[in-house]
Amino acid sequence: LLVWLRMRRLIATLKPDVTHGHGAKAGAFVRMRRRSDDTIRIYTPHGGSLHYPLNTFKGEFYARLERTLMDATDLFLFESAFARDTYQRIVGRPRGVVHCVFNGVTPEEFEPVGIADDATDLAYVGEFRHIKGADLLVDAVARLHEGGKKVTLTLGGDGEETAALKAQVDRLGLSSAIRFIGHVKARYGFSKGRLLVVPSRGDSMPYVVIEAGAAGIPMIAARVGGIPEIFGHDSPALFAASNAEAMAEAIAAALDDPQATAQRASALRERISAHFSQQAMVDGVLAGYRDAFANH
């Protein structure tokens, strides 16, 4: 409530032409204002309210709220086709202007990242939350050890599941193979492993994948959400989501053929340069604003 009141005061002071809410809460705050003849209201969902199944209380509550605010939106600016399709399936087809604009990275983020001297076989960079799947990656490492492949892993991040993850590592007897380095900057985390693994149970358009791809980091990822839009839907770097066995097999394949893994990383870097640059994102957002003003 306090944040909403502060936003109302800020908008009243600045009198902006565009109010753009990113995420469910900010999107609600922006669209709860009265319609104005000279101001457009933009909403970019970031998963959030779309991650809950409709057959749950939270899912039904958020879907109803999204439907209530749908007609108060001049432009839906989705960060992936997956997010757009999920919104239309759960909430409905918007009557306002709809654009898809990929997240973009800066030219500096295309600088290669060197691998650290103390790098492990694998690295994970992200939050320790159920949806991000770090526990699945630990299970995959355990499966590889059981099969005689003694891979090592660096976990960079923190979050609500930190204690549970450490307990899982201890329970599986992997303390000597898996290290925790806490919350780190993405590029530093990338340097701590020879293969980045993105084990998400659910994601829309994760920046960590785009940043790692831009830096030329060898990487495999779960086939979930908007991730296939980054790699290309037929990429062999994708594995079945929420499946530790499939992840273990993908890890083994990537480590066993480092030349093919490096070639995929190079091709992904070129793909990201063409479709996920910051300039392309800026151009796409401004084009969306122009269309929304014309429609308004």
**Distance linking the first and last C-alpha atoms of the chain:** 28
pTM: 0.84
Tell me what pLDDT residue 175 has.
Answer: 97
Tell me what pLDDT residue 96 has.
Answer: 85
CATH number of 2-104+278-295: 3.40.50.2000
Tell me what pLDDT residue 90 has.
Answer: 87
Tell me what pLDDT residue 54 has.
Answer: 79
* β-sheet bridge partners, residue 20: 42
Per-residue buried b or exposed e for 225-244, using 16+ beta carbons within 10 Å of the residue's own CB: bbbbbbbeeebebbbebebb
Tell me what pLDDT residue 232 has.
Answer: 93
Task: Say whether 108-275 and 2-104+278-295 share the same fold.
Answer: yes
Tell me how far apart the alpha carbons of residues 135 and 128 are, in angstroms, rounded to a whole number. 8
Which residue ranges make up each domain of the chain? Answer: 2-104+278-295, 108-275
Tell me what pLDDT residue 14 has.
Answer: 95
Q: Which residues of the chain have pLDDT under 50?
A: none
Tell me what pLDDT residue 192 has.
Answer: 98
Tell me what pLDDT residue 95 has.
Answer: 84
Choose the CATH number for 108-275 among 3.60.110.10, 2.40.50.140, 3.40.50.11540, 3.40.50.2000. 3.40.50.2000
Tell me how far apart the alpha carbons of residues 245 and 224 are, in angstroms, rounded to a whole number. 16
User: CA separation (Å) from 27 to 74, 101, 284?
Assistant: 12, 17, 19
